[in-house]
Structure 1
Amino acid sequence: MNETTSPSRSQPEDPRLRAEFPAVYEPDFLSVLDSVQAEAIRRADAGAGEGLLIWAAEQTHGQGQHGPWDSPAGGLYCAVLLEPDFPADRWPEVGLVAVLALGTAAAELLPPLTGLDYRWPNDILVNGYKVGGVNLTSHRGFLIVGAQLNIVPPVEGWEYASLVADGAAMTTPGEALTGYARHFIDFLQRWHDQGLAAVLKSLRARGLQDLDEQGGLTGETHQTLAAFFGELNP
C-alpha cells in the first residue's frame, strides 16, 4: 500500500461520511489519501475494473484538472474508474456528464433560490464562487472521473464557497456523495442513450449558454473539450 494511504474499507466509521450507492459501483473508502485519482490508477494497475469508486475523507495532494485542490477533512473527494467502450474522442464529453451530476447533487442540498451555476466545462459555482469541480484522467484504457465538492465552510484565506456556508447547514459529505453517485450513473446512461445533446440541454437550462453542439465553448474564447481536458488515451 502506498505510504500516503490509510487502510481501506467499504464504508467509513464516521456516519457523516457514509454513503449509499447503486449496485453498479464497487465503493472503497480510505480516510486519508494523496489523491483519489492516484489511488484509482494504483488500483487499476493492481487489477481493479470498471465501477470502482474511491472516496476519501481527506487528500494530502488533491488534484483538480489543472492544479492542486485543497482537500481538508469535511469535503467530498471521489474518483470513479470507467473502462469505456466508446471512441476516445468522446471521452471528454464525460466531463460534462460528471459536472452536471455534481451540480445536480449540490442543488438538491441547497436552499431554494440559491445561486448555483456551472462554469465551462468542469466547475460548480454557488453565489459566484467555486464550490466544486470534476476532472478527467486516462490510464491504460481506463478513464478516471474525479469529483470534489466543498461541504464544510472554507478555511481562512479560501476564495471558495461551501455548501454549509451557503445554507445547507445539515449536509454531510456522505449525503452529497450519495446524490452524486446516483446522478452520475443516471446521466451517463442518458448520455449513452440520447447523446450529448441531452446533457447540453440540461446545462443550458442552468445558464451555461455558450456551448456548441460538441460541448465546446463558443465566442471569442472558443475552446474545445478535448483541448481543455488534455490528451485522454485509450
Structure 2
Amino acid sequence: MLPPPELPPLLTGHPVTDGDDPSRVALEGARAGHFGAGILCWSDETAVAAAALVLEPEVPLRVAAQMAPLMLVAIGDALGAIGPPNFSYGVRWPLTVLANGGVAGEVTLARPEGARAEEVPAHIVVGFRIALTLPDDLPGEPGEVAHLTALHEEGCGDIDRSALIGAVARHFLSWLDAWHHEGFTPVARVLTSRLEPEASVEGARLVRIDDTGSAIAVEGQGERGIPLTKALGIRT
C-alpha cells in the first residue's frame, strides 16, 4: 500500500477513493463550504496520479485561469526532477500532457457554475490526471491507440502516484510564488518552450504563449491572439 503524498506545509491533503474524480470532489467541497484554499484532493488510484487543488483567487477569472497553464509548467518541472534524464515532457495546447510525444494526461480547470471571465470567482479548482500505467483492456499495443501512453511505458517506472503528486504540488507552489511576484511572463516563456512541434490552435500554427496566457497564432502575414479564457471554454 502506497503512503499518502508528502505535501508542502501550505497544502492539506484529502484522499479520494479510487473511481472518484478529485476535481469533482474538490469543486463540490468548495461549493458547499467544506473546502477552502489549499485543500488538495488526491486519488488513491495507483495506475494514475490524479489530484485537484482548491484556490480562492483575488483576481478576475480571466486572470485566475492562468493557474491551468501554470500547473502544466509545474508538472514538467516535477517530471524533470524525479524522472529519467532522457524523458521528454511536452504540452499540446491547451491542456494536454505529452510524454515522449504521446498523450499521457491532462490538466483541468473548474469554476463555479455561471462564473464569468471578468468576475472574481469564489473559488477555482485546478487539477491534473496523468497515466502511470496503461489499462489492461487497452486495444492494440501501447502507442498504437490514439497515440496514448503512460509514464511507465516511457521509462518512468520508478515514479509512483504519491511521489508525482507530491512533486507537482511542490513545484506548483514554487511557480505560484513566482507568479505573485513576477506575473505570468516566466510561465509563458517556459510553456512556449514545451509546446509540441507543429503546435496548432483553431487550425492555425501556434508560435507562442504571451504574458496573459493567450495563444499567439500565425494567420496570413500576421499574428492573432486567442484569449486563454476562450481556449478553455470560459464565457467572456
Shorter-chain TM range is: 0.7 to 0.9
After TM superposition, the structure 1 = structure 2 runs for residues 18-29 of structure 1, keeping only pairs within 5 Å, are 18-29=4-15
Task: Find the counterpart in structure 1 of residue 222 from structure 2.
Answer: none
The reply to whether residue 57 of structure 1 matches residue 44 of structure 2 is yes
1:105 and 2:103 equivalent?
no
Is the Cα–Cα contact under 8 Å of residues 15 and 42 in structure 2 kept in the other structure? yes
Determine which structure has more spread, i.e. the larger CA radius of gyration: 2
Match of 1:130 in 2: 103
Structure 2 residue runs without a partner (length 5+): 113-120, 140-144, 197-206, 220-224
8 Å Cα contact 2:65-2:229 kept in structure 1: yes
Query: For 1:149, what is the secondary structure of its paired residue?
Result: strand
Q: Is the 8 A contact 1:53 1:80 kept in 2?
A: yes
Structure 1 residue 21, shift from structure 2 partner: 0.6
Residue in 2 that maps onto 1:210: 208
> Which moved further from structure 2: 98-107 or 199-208?
199-208
The answer for the alignment partner of 1:6 in structure 2 is none
Q: Distance in 1 between matches of 2:166 and 2:66?
A: 22
Question: Which 10-residue stretch deviates more, 128-137 or 114-123?
Answer: 114-123
* Among candidates 28, 31, 40, match of residue 42 of structure 1: 28
Please give the secondary structure, in 2, of the residue aligned with 1:200. helix
The question of whether the paired residues in 1 share the 8 Å contact of 2:63 and 2:212 is answered with: no
Counterpart of 1:118 in structure 2: which amino acid?
Answer: V
Aligned-pair CA distance for 1:130: 1.1
Q: 1:153 to 1:33 in 2, by over 3 A?
A: closer
Note if contact 2:105-2:129 (Cα within 8 Å) is conserved in structure 1.
yes
Matching of residues 177-192 of structure 1 within 5 Å = 177-192=165-180
Q: Which amino acid aligns with 2:208?
A: D
**TM-score, normalised with respect to structure 2:** 0.79
* Partner Cα distance (1:115, 1:207) in 2: 11
2:144 matches 1:141: no
User: Aligned-pair distance for 1:30?
Assistant: 2.2
Q: Report the number of matched residues.
A: 205
- Residues 180-219 of structure 1: CA deviation (Å, up to 9, x unaligned): 0001111111111100101112223335652233222222
Unaligned runs of 5+ in 1: 1-13, 59-72
Which residue number corresponds to residue 160 of structure 1? 148
Q: Which residue of 2 aligns with 1:121?
A: 94
Q: Structure 1 residues 164-173 or 30-39, which shifts more?
A: 30-39
CA contact 2:49–2:130 (8 Å) conserved in 1 = yes
Aligned residues of 2:43 and 2:50 also touching (Cα < 8 A): yes
- Give the Å deviation of 1:226: 0.5
Name the TM-score, length of structure 1 as normaliser.
0.79
* 3-state SS of paired residue (2:57): coil
Query: In the aligned structure 2, how far is the partner of 1:110 from the partner of 1:154?
Result: 21
Where 1:187 maps in the other structure, the secondary structure is: helix
Say whether the 8 Å CA contact 1:154–1:160 is kept in structure 2. Answer: no
Matches of 1:26 and 1:179, distance apart in 2: 14
Percent pairwise identity: 24
CA RMSD in angstroms comes to 2.2
